[in-house]
Amino acid sequence: MPELPEVEIVRQSLNRQVKNRKIIKIQVNNRNLRLKVPKDFEQIFKNAVIEKIQRKSKYLILVFNNHLYCVIHLGMSGTLHFMGLKKKITNLSFYGSQSLPKKHNHIIFRFKNFKLIYNDPRRFGFFKILNNKSDYLRFFTRIGPEAISKDFNKKYLRKILKNRTKNIKNLLLDQKLVSGLGNIYVNEILFQAKINPFKKSYLINLDENKKIVKYSKIILNKAIRFGGSSIRDFKGITGKSGNFQSEFKVYDRAKKKCSRNKCSGQIRRKIISNRSTFICSVCQK
């Protein structure tokens, strides 16, 4: 599943291509996504102009000139593709290749000179219509502050850590408490902070609190600058792969020597809540 940096790169790509563009037609081939696509979806957005593209956590939001919003979540396997008049394909999403899949193209947005195609084999993604700003604000009350935002700070983190027995990794992955973080980046953040992912949240001290906030922002911003992590051929509209995976210090490095200078530890892979967790045997005791 794409995390905040990958979704931000998709937003930037969409912003360059579809901002201020009119949707000529929408074709829905399969309404049975995670949330059923409304029957009037095609008519609601036909001839509507996309004024801007926003991102909230791992969600994309198309903002229209008719004051409607369309929230897009890519789920586990959702991908977005541009197809130009000469059939050149650019993959905007986390999984997939540069070619348009032959199956599972569920929604097609037709613009004047190109198409935007949503493909999703597992159908865990969704498109949700929000009718006004109040609906928009209400929808996003379900998630916590983004780890990249100023609202995610030492004071806020200290508040949500208090009296919680959940391990720190699972707490940071809880989108109701902190939004935008996924398995890859939480592994990296806790490694940089020298915190064991199994440590109970209420035991995190003030220094560790500060490090979690600090490295959350540093690592996510760096990942965005690097164009995301191309675990499975993620590419933006320019066709360039994200290459933050070359910066991984701990994720997917099981049995390798710790990347820290003067550390004799070895990276071990363990499982927390069915997710691969990578820990230095020395740094993160």
**Which CATH number belongs to the domain containing residue 161 in this structure?**
1.10.8.50
88 lies in the same domain as 162:
no
183 lies in the same domain as 92:
no
Helix then strand then coil, in percent of the chain rounded to 5, is 30, 25, 45
- Which amino acid, 99? S
Mean pLDDT of all residues in 113-126: 94
Q: Write the pLDDT tens digit of every residue in 240-275.
A: 444 555 578 999 999 999 999 999 999 999 999 999
Residue 251 lies in a domain: yes
Which of 81, 107, 142 delimits the end of a domain?
142
User: What's 178's DSSP letter?
Assistant: S
Helices and strands (H and E) in the chain: how many: 7, 12
Residue 115 φ/ψ, nearest 5 degrees:
-120, 150
Residue 70 lies in a domain: yes
Which of 82, 108, 142 delimits the end of a domain?
142
Full domain range(s) for residue 198: 154-280
Cβ neighbors of 205 (< 8 A, separation 6 or more) are none
120 lies in the same domain as 179:
no
Which comes out higher in pLDDT, residue 85 or 251? 251
User: What's 264's DSSP letter?
Assistant: -
22 lies in the same domain as 135:
yes
Q: How far is CA 86 from CA 16, 90, 146, 170, in A?
A: 19, 12, 39, 46
Cβ contact 194:211 at 8 Å: yes
Q: Write the pLDDT tens digit of every residue in 41-57.
A: 999 999 999 999 999 99
Residue 148 lies in a domain: no
**The predicted structure's pLDDT at residue 46:** 95
CA distance 196 to 85: 52
Q: Write the pLDDT tens digit of every residue in 138-182.
A: 999 999 999 999 999 999 999 999 999 999 999 999 999 999 999
Q: Residue 22 is part of a domain; what is its CATH number? A: 3.20.190.10
Cβ neighbors of 161 (< 8 A, separation 6 or more) are 171, 201, 202, 204, 209
195 lies in the same domain as 234:
yes
Which of 122, 142, 162 delimits the end of a domain?
142
Task: State yes or no: pLDDT of 95 exceeds 90.
Answer: no
Write out the catalytic residue numbers.
2-3, 58, 275
Residue 160 lies in a domain: yes
Residue 33 lies in a domain: yes
CA distance 184 to 221: 14
135 lies in the same domain as 226:
no
